[in-house]
Chains A and B, each alone.
Chain A
Amino acid sequence: MLELIEQFNVLGAFWLNIRLAAVSFVLAMVVGTVVAILRLAPVSVLNWFGATYVTLLRNTPLTLIIVFANLGLWLQLGIEFVPRENNPNFILENNFWLAVLGLTVYHAAFICEAIRSGVNTIPVGQSEAARSIGLGFGQSLREVILPQAFRGGITPIGNVLIALIKNTTVAVAIGNREIAYQMRNMMEFRPDAGILIFLIVAIGFVILTLPVGLGTSWLSAKLAVKR
């Protein structure tokens, strides 16, 4: 087992999954919050825009989004995130960012809905009270709604994070050398290892996702808004 892990650089592959998940999660939180604000805004065009974003991205298969990022954005439109000249790792680095882009826009839709579910934990009276003491939309979001929405939405956001960690394996579709990539190599070059390959990958993901689940449960209990 150790020999297999060393031969196929399993730890390095998982590290790429962690990097994909970490960067995408941070960006998805930003984009998701923006889309959530659009959906909460008192302007119907913005509502419509936010709702369309969520409906479109949430219902498109992730593989399609990531393959489109590669074939469409890079090969057709020539969008490149890293310099191409004198960069032997250009393809790997560019594909990393294309995968991050795909993971971000996809999971932002789910983050948006998680935040909105957090907003729903806040009694309507609070935003009415905020408006009646003279706070504008932006002020009431910043001071009253969003802080409580994040705290109330920790569990669903944690669920999105767990899904995101596992979804990073889709990045193999455009050649990112993460764990699903190495799993294919193991299956091709070490058919004698059989079920051990699956065990290694499964255990790795349990190690990655279990703490996230425990952590979000603990956080959501600790940060729950006492009413």
Chain B
Amino acid sequence: MRSTTFRIAALAAATALTLTACGGDDGGEADAGGDGGSSEESAAEGGTDGETVTIGIKFDQPGLGLNEGGDPTGMDVDVAKAVAEQLGYTEDQIEWKEAISAQREDLLESDQVDMIFATYSITDERKERVQFAGPYFVAGQDLLVPTDSDIEGPDSMGDAILCSVTGSTSAARVNEEYGVALQEYGSYSECMEAMASGQIGALTTDDTILAGFAAQDEYAGQFRVVGNTFSEENYGVGLPQDSDRCEEINEILNGLWEDGTMDQIIEDNLGAADYTPNADLNPPEAGGHCA
């Protein structure tokens, strides 16, 4: 009897601890959200007094948004830093948060992030839930192939197998428009693995992402981006519907192209793969997508 009582007491104590742990966590996040809110107001006034801004980025895309040990790198990260700087935040005031593709609208709607720079294509469906500043860059779907491959586009795949990621626009497009054999995995890394084994002929997604993978040290010189894009992806800055910074960010983005910062950012992050952005579509004119 005594030991039963003790067990129940221990269980109750453990439950209480777990609950408080959760509670503490929630409190922290709520605080962060609150900070974001107030920094929005102060940014509009032109000063930030130590407030932080939470920015959503990809953590797993080399060349675009990669976080290996707390210091993120990539094109989206550098653009985010430049925009945040002009909004009046120092680098120390930026809090990075992972924004995986499927969660981006939810993160913005629930105010867990203030803005998202994560290869976020502007689409009408998404605009029903979030607003977009930008576009700051126009990418296009392309193919990544082994350096010695003679594949020139989705039309010349022959019997070769194409690889892409489940639940992505790129996979759906090749599936519907080109009758190619398509192997889908959960992430691009598995596609790279499969392609390195020689059984898969090409990997398809936005050319920026492909260039990022090709530029990785372990794949240096093994793969090339075909350079024959067959779609138009307008990367925008995701903002909550009620954010009033949209037009301000548009001006900053246009400024980044005018003063050459964007060219430098692209060169720094994707230059190693000999990647040059589509000159017909870049630089894009930011604007027109604010709520």
Interface residues contributed by chain A, number (CB under 8 Å): 24
Q: Which residues of B contact A183 (CB under 8 A)?
A: 167
**A29 located at the interface, meaning its Cβ lies under 8 Å from any Cβ of chain B in the complex:** no
Instruction: List the A residue with the shortest CB-CB distance to B159.
Output: A84
Instruction: List the A residue with the shortest CB-CB distance to B167.
Output: A184
User: In the complex the two chains form, is A91's CB within 8 Å of B182's CB?
Assistant: yes
Q: B276: shortest Cβ distance to chain A, in Å? A: 28
Known contacts A189-B125, A190-B125, A191-B128, A184 near B200 by CB under 8 Å: no
User: In the complex the two chains form, is A75's CB within 8 Å of B199's CB?
Assistant: yes
Q: In the complex, what distance in Å separates the CA atom of A74 from the CA atom of B182?
A: 15
**B197 located at the interface, meaning its Cβ lies under 8 Å from any Cβ of chain A in the complex:** yes
**A3 located at the interface, meaning its Cβ lies under 8 Å from any Cβ of chain B in the complex:** no
Instruction: List the B residue with the shortest CB-CB distance to A189.
Output: B125
**B185 located at the interface, meaning its Cβ lies under 8 Å from any Cβ of chain A in the complex:** yes
Q: In the complex, what distance in Å separates the CA atom of A71 from the CA atom of B181?
A: 16
**B186 located at the interface, meaning its Cβ lies under 8 Å from any Cβ of chain A in the complex:** yes
Q: A165: shortest Cβ distance to chain B, in Å? A: 20
Q: Which residues of B contact A67 (CB under 8 A)?
A: 185, 190
**B105 located at the interface, meaning its Cβ lies under 8 Å from any Cβ of chain A in the complex:** yes
**B168 located at the interface, meaning its Cβ lies under 8 Å from any Cβ of chain A in the complex:** yes
User: In the complex the two chains form, is A175's CB within 8 Å of B172's CB?
Assistant: no
**B86 located at the interface, meaning its Cβ lies under 8 Å from any Cβ of chain A in the complex:** no
User: In the complex the two chains form, is B125's CB within 8 Å of A173's CB?
Assistant: no
Partner of B166, one of A74, A76, A181: A181
Q: B103: shortest Cβ distance to chain A, in Å? A: 9
User: In the complex the two chains form, is A181's CB within 8 Å of B167's CB?
Assistant: yes
Q: In the complex, what distance in Å separates the CA atom of A192 from the CA atom of B197?
A: 39
Q: Which residues of B contact A71 (CB under 8 A)?
A: 190, 193-194, 197
**Which B residues contact A (CB, under 8 angstroms)?**
101-102, 105, 125-126, 128-129, 161, 166-169, 172, 179, 181-186, 190, 193-194, 197, 199-200
Given A174-B185, A175-B184, A189-B125, list of 6 further CB < 8 A pairs?
A172-B186, A173-B186, A175-B185, A183-B167, A185-B166, A191-B128
**Which A residues contact B (CB, under 8 angstroms)?**
67, 71, 74-76, 88, 90-91, 95, 172-175, 181, 183-185, 187-192, 194
